[in-house]
């Protein structure tokens, strides 16, 4: 959250991909102010009910919940899983949910994002593999990483899309670990139009170029 709040600016358009119950969405809506807007994408019906409730309780008019997931391509997929709803993912559970793609989102009603957060329990690489090149070069992106393969896919896709990529200390450790991790370390990517944030990223503890 320290990294996310350090990178947000008043008036930003934010995409919160994998919004869960709305913790990041609420923090981001405060940071961007009434001139900005947050689109919170959450496919799970269970989580979506909490997301709507939390936005209503906090009276956030600059945040829009969207009951859709994000994947490599639009369609319908199985979604869910056992245990905590924080670990729900595509291919788990029996709930059938609608998913969109970054390309389709760019063509739709969600504006041009200035900031994108992606935390979708291991599907980040597949989303960015086909989607990073469609993101505006004026965007900053924060991605949670869940495995070594996930790290490689995300870094490769973001660099190919023209982004400068920085990895947290935890994300860099993943390069040498085969099994999935549980602490969700992050990548930060800056497009050309957000290079003014380079000094901010370099001051964040543990981050360096990937």
What whole-number distance in Å separates Cα of residue 174 and Cα of residue 210?
Answer: 12
Give the pLDDT score at 91: 85
pLDDT single digits (tens) 13-55:
999 999 999 999 999 999 999 999 999 999 999 999 999 999 9
Residues 198-207 have pLDDT tens digits of 999 999 999 9
Q: In the prediction, which pLDDT does 179 show? A: 66
Domain total in the chain: 1
CB 166 within 8 A of CB 208: yes
What distance in Å separates the CA atoms of residue 33 and residue 7, rounded to the nearest whole number?
14
Please name every residue paired with 89 in a beta bridge, in sequence order, or none if there are none.
80
pLDDT of residue 9: 97
Q: Is the pLDDT of residue 64 over 70?
A: yes
- Which residues are within 8 A (CB) of 182 and not within 5 positions of it... i.e. 6 or more apart? none
Nearest to 102 by CA among 75, 70, 69, 129: 70
Residue 85: pLDDT band (50, 70, 90) is confident
In a 3-state reduction of DSSP, which class is residue 9? coil
Confidence band, pLDDT 50/70/90 cuts, at residue 176: confident
Contact 153, 126 (CB under 8 A): yes
Domain range enclosing 42: 2-209
Using DSSP's 3-state secondary structure scheme, residue 121 falls into coil
Above 80 in pLDDT, residue 183? no
Closest CA to 3 of 193, 210, 190, 191: 190
pLDDT reported for residue 180: 65
* Helix/strand number for the chain, H first, E second: 8, 12
pLDDT of residue 86: 84
Kindly tell me the burial class for residue 57, based on how many C-beta atoms sit within 10 Å of its own C-beta (0-12, 13-18, 19 or more): exposed
Nearest to 127 by CA among 45, 44, 18, 1: 18
Domain holding 29: CATH number?
Answer: 3.40.50.150
Q: How far is CA 166 from the centre of its chain?
A: 15
State pLDDT tens for residues 97-129: 999 999 999 998 999 999 999 999 889 999 999
Buried b (16+ CB within 10 A) or exposed e, 87-102: ebbbeebeeebebbbb
């Amino acid at each position: 959250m320290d990294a996310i709040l350090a990178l947000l600016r008043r008036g930003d358009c934010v995409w919160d991909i994998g919004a869960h119950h709305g913790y990041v969405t609420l923090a981001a809506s405060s940071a961007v102010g009434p001139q900005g807007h947050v689109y919170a994408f959450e496919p799970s019906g269970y989580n979506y009910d909490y997301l709507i409730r939390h936005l209503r309780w906090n009276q956030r008019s600059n945040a829009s919940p969207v009951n859709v997931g994000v994947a490599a391509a639009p369609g319908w997929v199985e979604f869910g899983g056992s245990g905590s709803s924080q670990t729900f993912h595509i291919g788990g559970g029996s709930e059938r949910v609608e998913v969109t793609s970054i390309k389709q989102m760019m063509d739709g009603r969600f504006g041009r994002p200035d900031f994108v957060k992606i935390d979708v329990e291991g599907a980040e690489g597949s989303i960015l593999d086909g989607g990073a090149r469609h993101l505006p070069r004026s965007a900053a992106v924060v991605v949670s990483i869940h495995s070594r393969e996930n790290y490689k896919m995300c870094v490769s896709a973001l660099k190919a899309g023209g982004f400068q990529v920085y990895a947290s200390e935890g994300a860099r450790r993943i390069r040498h670990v085969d099994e999935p991790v549980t602490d969700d370390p992050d990548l930060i990517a800056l497009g050309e139009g957000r290079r003014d944030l380079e000094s901010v990223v370099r001051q964040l503890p543990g981050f360096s170029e990937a």
